[in-house]
Amino acid sequence: MRRKIEGMKSPLAAVAAAFLFLSIATAAGRSAKQFNINDLSERELDSLHLLTRFQVRSLMDYRRQWGDILSATELTLVDGFTEDDVEALGDIVTYEPSTGRGRVKHLASVRIRKNWNAEGFSMTSKYKLTGSTFDAALTLDNDPLEKFPDFISGYFKYKGWIAGDYDLRLGQGLVMSTGMSLSAFGEPGSQIGRDSYRGHTSSSESNFLRGVAWNGPLKRFDLTAFASFNGVDARIVDGAYTSIATDGLHATGAERAKKNSMREPLFGVSLARTFGTWKVALTTIAYSYTKPNGRKVQEYNRLQMYDGWWGNVSASLYGIAGTWRIFAEAALDAHLAPAVKAGALWAPSYAIEMSLALRACSPSYIATHSAGDAYNQIGAQYALKFIAGKWKFNLNADFCYYPWYRYQKPAGGVSFKARAAAVRTWPGGASLQAQASYSDMIKGKVQMKIPVGAFQFGAKVEANPKGFALFAEASLRTRKFEASARVTYYNTDGWDGRIYLYERSLPESFSTQAYYGKGVGEYLVLKYSPTHTVDLWLKIQQGYCAFFTRIFIPG
């Protein structure tokens, strides 16, 4: 038996994004020179050491098929580039037309997902409009048994202004961080928070802002001002909210009753100043719910209760000193409960990089828009990457102490996670990856990929003390057609021995399967491009299918 888990970010994509970020951070330390992503040749892109080989090839294919990339939003549409990759590129990349003339581009897509063993289907439809000085997007989405569209999201961004739905990250995320985040176990650079300001294009129905914002220069400062009045799904009892839902499901009557049952007015401002290679910023936000707090006070949540207006203020720092990158943020909430994150990254060469981040958050620190669970913890995270010949090694460790009682974690409890990975690549594109990790139990995996002409073959085995899973896969790629197939055998001691495997999915989505029990699973992904402006995708697996169409309309 298998259980489908959708919406989880791909671990491989997170690692790739972290590697891209680190490479860029290292290159930025050597040179602040910008480059136009539409002007460089394939060889020049390779020589920058900022992109993986797959990303370079995807970028060249996209430019040959659809022309120049005119905005950061459009770059996220290129296979191999996640939103985190684009954010990591930051100010290093410009999106000027290679011909010197601005153009407008349109991109429409529809994704339909159907579980053959359940009623209803889900649909996501997106439209994106990009230009040299603006971009806009509209997203319509529904889950099974919901009326289409259950979720409507859109934005318009012109120069520094944005109106509609948007994601915002500031400092190290102790005060403000919406949207997707890098994996906790990435490469060293993934520990550094980066400012981000962009439209919300995901079908995720929570963890974003809805309103208006502006980012731009104010004399010698960089100002970000934002306001939001987003709806919140909540269970309302006697005029007060007793719980908040973030799953975005509105199929049943009880779920529909929660939909946008209260609002959250939010206001904030961040003022930053750059001194050479150093940047300091002050950030403050204020927010409230339009319904009073009616939650039952429990021992694990009594320090996370607030009512009426609340807020946070922080001071953050990021700077480059030789081969070092220093980052820090100190924050307070409305009752002066503190939270601190600080660390350093050392990158003496392209072959070795390491970072250490320390964090301490008061048990009573409350910041509803912080990254992760920034409260009641004292922790440290270490990451190391080094390259020896064709081998790349990664080591990660995270230790956390909980001074106060948390949900299912006693006061004084600790947690420890670690991972060691090695990757070997060959000039022809073949690769071998081995990894050992520890969280609640020891886990290990070995994976190999071998390209042969237009084909690529791969195999992987992953195991823990309670079972294992292994698969074999093959893919084919031609100018108009792509196919990818996988067969997986799994044998574990039930749910406690489950093994998560990332699977190839359709564009604009991620797929992670939890395999438990004993059985065989398989899937087939097909892509056909009848013209240079149309992509048709189909994914078929046991009890499930999905269809995706992407249409590019020249301006």
Please state, as a whole number, how many other Cβ atoms lie within 10 Å of the Cβ of residue 228. Answer: 23
The 8-class DSSP code of residue 8 comes to: P
> Looking at residue 174, what is its pLDDT?
95
> Looking at residue 341, what is its pLDDT?
96
Measure the CA–CA gap between 424 and 437, rounded to whole angstroms.
18
**Residues 6 or more apart whose Cβ sits within 8 Å of residue 331:** 174, 175, 312, 313, 314, 338, 339, 340, 365, 367
Closest Cα to residue 191, out of 45, 75, 409, 21? Answer: 21
Is 2 inside a domain boundary?
Answer: no
Is 205 inside a domain boundary?
Answer: yes
> Looking at residue 363, what is its pLDDT?
93
Is 218 inside a domain boundary?
Answer: yes
Measure the CA–CA gap between 443 and 465, rounded to whole angstroms.
8
Q: What predicted TM-score, i.e. pTM, was given to this entire model?
A: 0.82
Average pLDDT, the chain: 86
**Residues 6 or more apart whose Cβ sits within 8 Å of residue 373:** none
pLDDT(187) > 60? yes
Tens of pLDDT, residues 222-248? 999 999 999 999 999 999 999 999 999
The 8-class DSSP code of residue 174 comes to: S
Please state, as a whole number, how many other Cβ atoms lie within 10 Å of the Cβ of residue 152. Answer: 10
Give the residue-averaged pLDDT of 327-351: 94
Q: Structure tokens of 92?
A: 């290093």
pLDDT(401) > 90? yes
Q: Structure tokens of 440?
A: 């609640």
> Looking at residue 351, what is its pLDDT?
86
Closest Cα to residue 314, out of 174, 118, 179? Answer: 174
Q: What is the DSSP string of 372-422?
A: S--SSEEEEEEEEEEEETTEEEEEEEEEEEESS-BTTB-TTEEEEEEEEEE
Measure the CA–CA gap between 214 and 234, rounded to whole angstroms.
29
H/E/C letters for each residue in 420-456? EEEEEECCCCCEEEEEEEECCCEEEEEEEEEEECCEE
Is 306 inside a domain boundary?
Answer: yes
Please state, as a whole number, how many other Cβ atoms lie within 10 Å of the Cβ of residue 157. Answer: 24
> Contact 543/512 with Cβ under 8 angstroms?
no
Tens of pLDDT, residues 274-333? 998 899 999 999 999 999 999 999 888 888 899 999 999 999 999 989 899 999 999 999
Is 406 inside a domain boundary?
Answer: yes
> Looking at residue 62, what is its pLDDT?
78
Is 324 inside a domain boundary?
Answer: yes
Percentage of the chain modeled with pLDDT above 70: 88
> Looking at residue 202, what is its pLDDT?
87
Q: What is the DSSP string of 54-68?
A: HHHHHHHHHHHHH--
Domain count, the chain: 1
Q: Structure tokens of 77?
A: 């549409």
H/E/C letters for each residue in 262-321? EEEEEEEEEEEEEECCEEEEEEEEEECCCCCECCCCCCCCHHHCCCCCEEEEEEEEEEEE
> Looking at residue 14, what is its pLDDT?
40
Give the residue-averaged pLDDT of 99-122: 81
Is 121 inside a domain boundary?
Answer: no
Peptide bond into 149 cis (omega under 30): yes
Tens of pLDDT, residues 14-64? 434 443 444 444 443 333 356 788 888 887 787 676 777 777 877 887 787
CATH number at residue 327: 2.40.160
Give the residue-averaged pLDDT of 494-499: 92
Lowest mean pLDDT among 135-144, 390-399, 497-506, 546-555: 546-555
Measure the CA–CA gap between 522 and 518, rounded to whole angstroms.
14
Secondary structure of the chain: what % helix, strand, coil (to 5)? Answer: 15, 55, 35
pLDDT(251) > 80? yes
Lowest mean pLDDT among 456-465, 505-514, 545-554: 505-514
> Looking at residue 223, what is its pLDDT?
96
Instruction: Tell me which H or E stretch contains 46.
Output: helix 42-48
Q: Which residues of 392-402 are buried (b: 16+ CB within 10 A; e: fewer)?
A: bebbbbbebeb
- With cut-offs at 50, 70 and 90, classify the pLDDT of residue 429: confident
Domain that holds residue 377: 150-425
- With cut-offs at 50, 70 and 90, classify the pLDDT of residue 371: confident
- CA separation (Å) from 315 to 175, 273, 330, 336, 480? 10, 12, 6, 14, 51
Is 458 inside a domain boundary?
Answer: no
